[in-house]
Chains A and B, each alone.
Chain A
Amino acid sequence: MSNPGAITAASTRARSPSVDTPIESERAPAAPRAIRCAVRGVTKSFGQTPVLRGVDVEIPEGAFAVLVGPSGCGKSTLLRMVAGLETADQGTIELAGKDVTSLPPRDRDVAMVFQSYALYPHLSVRDNLAFGLKLRKVPASEIDARIKEASVMLGLEKFLDRLPKQLSGGQRQRVAMGRAIVRRANIFLFDEPLSNLDAALRAEVRVEIRRLHDRLGATTLYVTHDQVEAMTLADTLWVMNGGVVEQKGAPLDVYERPGTKFVATFLGSPQMNLVDAAITRKDCRCLVDGGGVLAPVDEERFGEALEQGRSVVAGVRPHDFTIADPKDAVATLKVELVEALGFEAFAYGWLRASGPRIVARLDAADAKRVRPGDQLPLGVDPARVHLFDPQTGRALDAR
């Protein structure tokens, strides 16, 4: 995968031996009964403001589903509805095939990890973990066993008698997860659990969460606005925007075949370059022409949609550009700025004076030769050219 964030994450984890220790417990807890979660036709408004406009989400047993989208897209509201903290205006929510739309949280058997961790500040770590179990009248010996198990799993044994305020951010995050683990709930809900951590820790905990899921096998619904988390964690990605689901699918599928212009630009960093163009034919080849780009397209992929003269929005990810021979170039970038990151670099510039700003990824070695003001000839694999309808924003894929 060519996502830069993922590379960062992987390298951080490799440098950090501490991550491995908590996970290496001798036995896994009794697996919760993984259940299916289904949200059907849910709408919700706060006052006059619609937040969800008819959302359907289906998470199979034991899957790790990630809801991703910009702030205000309704993803947290949806999660809170599954938890029972918000009511739906319309539609139903089913857990394990049972309609729970009108049940309070305590009757849904869900566990939730909050963005602020929401630990009970007046209780020790041990009591934080035990709180939900005591309420459910779990016998004391069983509570002790579960706390021990979870604390070993999360590396919290040393902190059991501390108050939350005596813990670091990462430790608090683990307690919050431990609180969910000991509950052995049917479904785990995560509400942007990493946003309060610094970048290094975020990568570390992210990996930990995925490992925990693989170990416990509980159905998980995870909300984030961070595309790196979304890409790395999800079995299924649900991209939300403006109160509706724009696209769902395996992360790489969604990344490689974005269904809409929004999804295309939302996933991937720097975001996909878009130019307004039109379809032309030349020498029996189908080309997209406009905004300084004249590039071949994958005719098999777009099929019927490739009518001569049709207006389209053409998109190419920065990572899909290559430096080409000037005579084979599909576009020429007038470089304004080169951003060198060490292992790679990004060249920013314009194809035309009036066109949109374009970004291209360069290899670290190439980057050293490129100077601002240079005319950089760019090439692209036709399979990597995405086309969208300018009016609807939908992809023109023939599937």
Chain B
Amino acid sequence: MLERLLALLLLATLVVLAPACAEPPSLVLWHSYRGEEERTLVALARRYESEQHIRVELLAVPFDAYTAKLTAAVPHAHGPDLFIDAHERLGIYRQENVVAPAGDALPDADVVGYDPSAIGAVTLDHQRWAVPLSTKCLALYVNDDLVKSVPALEDLESLRASLPPGVVPLAYEVENPYHHAAILSAFGGKLLEDDGTYGFAGPAALQSVVFVRELIARHLVPSDANGSLVKQLFSSGRAAMAIDGPWLAADLPPGLRYHVAELPLRTRGAEAMQPLLTVESVMLSPQGAQRAEVRAFARWLGGTESAIQRATGAHQVVANRAAWRDPLVAGDRLLAAFHDEQRWAQPMSTSTRMRAAWVPAQEAMRRVFRGEDPQTALVEGMGRFEDALKPPPPPPSPAPLVVVTGLLALLGAIFAVRRATTPDFRHALRVSRTAYRYVAHAAVVVVVLVVVPLAAGALTSLFAGTRADPRYVGLGNYVAILTARGGPLLGHGSFYLTLLVTVLWTVCNVTLHLVLGVVLGMLLSRPAMKLRGAYRVLLVLPWAVPSYVTALAWKGMFHRQFGAVNAMLGALGIEPVSWFSHFATAFAANVATNVWLGFPFMMVVTLGALTSISKEVLEAAEVDGATRWQRFWGVTVPLLRPTMLPAVVLGSVWTFNMFNVVFLVSGGEPDGSTDILVSDAYRWAFTRDAQYGYAAAYAVLIFLILAGGSRLLSRVGGAKEASA
């Protein structure tokens, strides 16, 4: 026993020490590149290794998890020495201490070698924080067969006159604030002002949305186009022009004759459209910045040789100016066009507040394009932005928390001591000692995986602010939620309205699950039915498919232009329905999806419960004179109830928290009205300036509601059973 323990200890020590003893990797670089960009980066790293005799370790981190991993790893010194990311993240990274100033990786002497816009993007508080690698911005794709000369934005009408029927003059993602920012700039506005205030509410914003609404109304641009639709329209020649980034080029068919031009001017205002600029840069972690060889590698990555290789190999619009003197780079018309455009572009704000601006802006635009009053929509959008960023309540005295915790601990201790001193308890403990040993590991796992996170979540709800700067607010989050943040109790996005929607959602779904499940279960349990097994398999299938796959499929089916549902309605001569523009239809789409996902469970439970009902009891009822309907209500239903009740409780909890369907199908549209509590909590945590504490308070409230609700449901059902 002892030897084994010692061996285990030795092994553990080795595991811990081994990495430390091995030769340290000289450089660690994280990136989220894929395809040719990744290949080029690997080639560059190998080249640098052979030239400088230093090891460069590359780690490709999935884009979705990139920021989260960096902010988690770097402060604990597990992170990379340097990493590649878009410059607008600098705000978060600085706040989270993930990035250090570039120092001599970008000395003053090098500054003139880069595009001024790129240098501007990485300069914050008079310090340069990263070495720019490449720039990305929107530009205009022009179909050469359809367009002879690029018109100004106002002259799209005249362009259409020269186009074949069915071809739209311009396609872009009209509802995407990233794209709209370019239009907005032509009217002199910005999404986020330089001082961090919300910019999408003034006269410029109003003019811009009204202008686009007009374009949509005149069918000069398609409404609700997403990236894939834009690609589809432009590559098939059904859109004469498209506004999109360099990524579109990779997806265009080889035969298509097109060129990329600067974004069109707006004639009457004579203002140029300024797309948002993203500068991909190499950034140094605080540990990495202290090492000269890391800084040298960062400098080399931004340098001319590397830039030429990146431009030719990975088709990056490199920020290094000298590289553009290379004939190969300068000769690439596509790259050159984007390089020209970036001169006009405005670097995206690095402010952390930018994160909270996207959703209100998008919601406001959707509402305007749907026909609501633009002024109201924009002002309310600003209200939501400000609401999301409302400073946390002043920190209350932690005394109540300390007192309550202390009191609870004291009571617990007294209880424990009193229990421990009773002879019965000690006897029971002695008797069960072996049993405790058997369950100890499971108990530890449950505590670590369930209890600790639960407690941590509950504790988080007492704090406000970001992870780097948490501030204790006591029950402030709960007060804010339960007072609807000072707004009307059933106002937009208030806790109570969302709760109401959630309850409606749960009731609708569980009722339909139950009805459909029981009906199908009854049908499938009839022994006379042919192909019963086959039907059973088919009907259980929706359950077997991962719910997000189903949700995405249903979202596609509800698409206004291309969805199967509208196609079927069209075949019946019914006008296409814009499913996600109205609460009722969006809600119905969600419910349809979730019913599809949920009825097999109830069906399977029903099938199981039906086998436990004796055939003779039903026959006895038949002889007693009951019709089929009376047998169902008088015998089958009451006998199903004990089995169905736990299933209904379980189904209610699942539905109450059915994040996947709501998030993926309607996404809360229109305007967040179909959001349920969990999806709203998610938005507080991840799209409204990372208010984890606030979201945690939501989660605690959801937990309490569900715990109470399930208990009530069981009790009501149980009481019914007892009285029956």
B169 CB → nearest A CB, Å: 70
Binds A, one of B380-388, B504-512, B576-584, B620-628: B620-628
A184 within 8 A of B: no
B630 and A120 form a contact (CB under 8 A): no
Known contacts being A121-B639, A131-B634, A135-B630, is A179 close to B624, with CB within 8 Å?
A: yes
Which residues of chain B are within 8 angstroms of A131 by Cβ–Cβ distance? 621, 624, 626, 634
Which residues of chain B are within 8 angstroms of A115 by Cβ–Cβ distance? 616
A369 within 8 A of B: no
What's the Cα separation between A83 and B721 when bound, in Å? 31
B617 and A123 form a contact (CB under 8 A): no
A167 within 8 A of B: no
Taking residues whose C-beta sits less than 8 angstroms from the other chain, chain B's interface range is 20 to 34
Which residue in chain B gives the minimum CB-CB distance to A135? B625
A135 and B624 form a contact (CB under 8 A): yes
B624 and A122 form a contact (CB under 8 A): no
A132 within 8 A of B: yes
Known contacts being A114-B620, A118-B620, A119-B617, is A136 close to B625, with CB within 8 Å?
A: yes
Which residue in chain A gives the minimum CB-CB distance to B624? A132
A85 and B624 form a contact (CB under 8 A): no
A263 within 8 A of B: no
The winner among A83, A135, A183 for most chain B CB atoms within 10 A is: A135
A106 and B622 form a contact (CB under 8 A): yes
- For A110, give its contact among B617, B623, B627, B641 (CB under 8 Å): B623
Which residues of chain B are within 8 angstroms of A123 by Cβ–Cβ distance? 638, 724
Which residue in chain B gives the minimum CB-CB distance to A180? B623
A116 within 8 A of B: yes
A105 within 8 A of B: yes
B643 CB → nearest A CB, Å: 12
Known contacts being A120-B635, A123-B724, is A105 close to B625, with CB within 8 Å?
A: yes
B619 within 8 A of A: yes
B724 and A106 form a contact (CB under 8 A): no
Binary flags per residue of A67-111, CB closer than 8 Å to B gives 1, else 0: 000000000000000011100000000000000000011100011
What's the Cα separation between A85 and B614 when bound, in Å? 15
- For A122, give its contact among B623, B625, B627, B724 (CB under 8 Å): B724
What's the Cα separation between A110 and B625 when bound, in Å? 9
Which residues of chain A are within 8 angstroms of B625 by Cβ–Cβ distance? 105-106, 132, 135-136
A112 within 8 A of B: yes
B625 CB → nearest A CB, Å: 4
Which residue in chain A gives the minimum CB-CB distance to B638? A122
A118 and B634 form a contact (CB under 8 A): no
Which residues of chain B are within 8 angstroms of A85 by Cβ–Cβ distance? 619, 622-623
Which residues of chain A are within 8 angstroms of B623 by Cβ–Cβ distance? 83-85, 105-106, 110-112, 132, 189
What's the Cα separation between A105 and B724 when bound, in Å? 26
B630 CB → nearest A CB, Å: 6
Which residues of chain B are within 8 angstroms of A136 by Cβ–Cβ distance? 625
Taking residues whose C-beta sits less than 8 angstroms from the other chain, chain A's interface range is 20 to 34
Which residues of chain B are within 8 angstroms of A183 by Cβ–Cβ distance? 624
B622 and A122 form a contact (CB under 8 A): no
Which residues of chain A are within 8 angstroms of B614 by Cβ–Cβ distance? 116, 118
A121 and B622 form a contact (CB under 8 A): no
What's the Cα separation between A83 and B625 when bound, in Å? 11
A367 CB → nearest B CB, Å: 45
Which residues of chain B are within 8 angstroms of A83 by Cβ–Cβ distance? 619, 623
Which residue in chain B gives the minimum CB-CB distance to A137? B625
B636 CB → nearest A CB, Å: 10
Known contacts being A106-B626, A106-B627, A131-B634, is A120 close to B621, with CB within 8 Å?
A: yes
Known contacts being A121-B639, A135-B625, is A112 close to B630, with CB within 8 Å?
A: no
Which residues of chain A are within 8 angstroms of B619 by Cβ–Cβ distance? 83, 85, 105, 112, 114, 118
A118 and B622 form a contact (CB under 8 A): no
The winner among B617, B619, B625, B634 for most chain A CB atoms within 10 A is: B625
A176 CB → nearest B CB, Å: 8
Which residues of chain B are within 8 angstroms of A120 by Cβ–Cβ distance? 617, 620-621, 634-635, 638
Which residue in chain B gives the minimum CB-CB distance to A80? B619
Which residues of chain B are within 8 angstroms of A116 by Cβ–Cβ distance? 614, 616
What's the Cα separation between A122 and B613 when bound, in Å? 11
A53 CB → nearest B CB, Å: 24
The winner among B614, B619, B638, B639 for most chain A CB atoms within 10 A is: B619
Which residue in chain A gives the minimum CB-CB distance to B630? A135
What's the Cα separation between A85 and B626 when bound, in Å? 13
Known contacts being A83-B623, A131-B624, A132-B624, is A118 close to B639, with CB within 8 Å?
A: no
What's the Cα separation between A122 and B625 when bound, in Å? 18
What's the Cα separation between A131 and B633 when bound, in Å? 12
B622 and A135 form a contact (CB under 8 A): no
Which residues of chain A are within 8 angstroms of B617 by Cβ–Cβ distance? 118-121
A21 CB → nearest B CB, Å: 27
A122 and B616 form a contact (CB under 8 A): no
B89 CB → nearest A CB, Å: 63
A220 CB → nearest B CB, Å: 15
What's the Cα separation between A84 and B630 when bound, in Å? 17
B616 and A114 form a contact (CB under 8 A): yes
B117 CB → nearest A CB, Å: 77
Known contacts being A123-B724, A131-B621, is A118 close to B626, with CB within 8 Å?
A: no
What's the Cα separation between A179 and B623 when bound, in Å? 11
Which residues of chain A are within 8 angstroms of B622 by Cβ–Cβ distance? 84-85, 104-106
The winner among A110, A120, A132, A179 for most chain B CB atoms within 10 A is: A120
A143 CB → nearest B CB, Å: 13
Which residue in chain A gives the minimum CB-CB distance to B613? A121
Which residues of chain B are within 8 angstroms of A111 by Cβ–Cβ distance? 623
Binary flags per residue of B62-84, CB closer than 8 Å to A gives 1, else 0: 00000000000000000000000
B620 and A112 form a contact (CB under 8 A): yes
What's the Cα separation between A111 and B624 when bound, in Å? 7
B562 CB → nearest A CB, Å: 51
The winner among A83, A104, A118, A136 for most chain B CB atoms within 10 A is: A118
Binary flags per residue of B633-658, CB closer than 8 Å to A gives 1, else 0: 01100110100000000000000000
What's the Cα separation between A110 and B641 when bound, in Å? 30
Which residues of chain B are within 8 angstroms of A179 by Cβ–Cβ distance? 620, 624
Which residue in chain B gives the minimum CB-CB distance to A111? B623
Which residues of chain A are within 8 angstroms of B620 by Cβ–Cβ distance? 112, 114, 118-120, 179
A116 CB → nearest B CB, Å: 5
B722 CB → nearest A CB, Å: 10
Which residue in chain A gives the minimum CB-CB distance to B722? A163
B635 and A135 form a contact (CB under 8 A): no
Interface residues of B in 685-724 (CB under 8 A from A): 721, 724
A135 and B639 form a contact (CB under 8 A): no
Binary flags per residue of A309-336, CB closer than 8 Å to B gives 1, else 0: 0000000000000000000000000000
A352 CB → nearest B CB, Å: 50
Binary flags per residue of A120-163, CB closer than 8 Å to B gives 1, else 0: 11110000000110011000000000000000000000000000
What's the Cα separation between A115 and B617 when bound, in Å? 11
Interface residues of B in 32-58 (CB under 8 A from A): none
B616 and A118 form a contact (CB under 8 A): yes
Which residues of chain B are within 8 angstroms of A106 by Cβ–Cβ distance? 622-627
Which residues of chain B are within 8 angstroms of A114 by Cβ–Cβ distance? 616, 619-620
What's the Cα separation between A112 and B634 when bound, in Å? 18
Which residue in chain A gives the minimum CB-CB distance to B637? A122
B634 CB → nearest A CB, Å: 7
Return the 6 tightest CB-CB contacts between A and B, nearest first.
A132-B624, A118-B616, A118-B620, A106-B625, A122-B638, A112-B623
Q: A105-B623, A106-B622, A119-B617 are in contact. List 11 more A-B contacts (CB 8 A).
A: A83-B619, A83-B623, A106-B626, A110-B623, A114-B616, A118-B619, A120-B617, A123-B638, A132-B625, A135-B626, A135-B630
**24 A-B residue contacts at CB 8 Å?**
A83-B619, A85-B619, A85-B623, A105-B623, A105-B625, A106-B625, A106-B626, A112-B619, A112-B623, A114-B616, A114-B619, A115-B616, A120-B617, A120-B634, A120-B638, A122-B639, A122-B641, A122-B721, A131-B634, A132-B624, A132-B626, A135-B624, A135-B630, A183-B624
Residues of B whose CB lies within 8 Å of any CB of A are 614, 616-617, 619-627, 630, 634-635, 638-639, 641, 721, 724
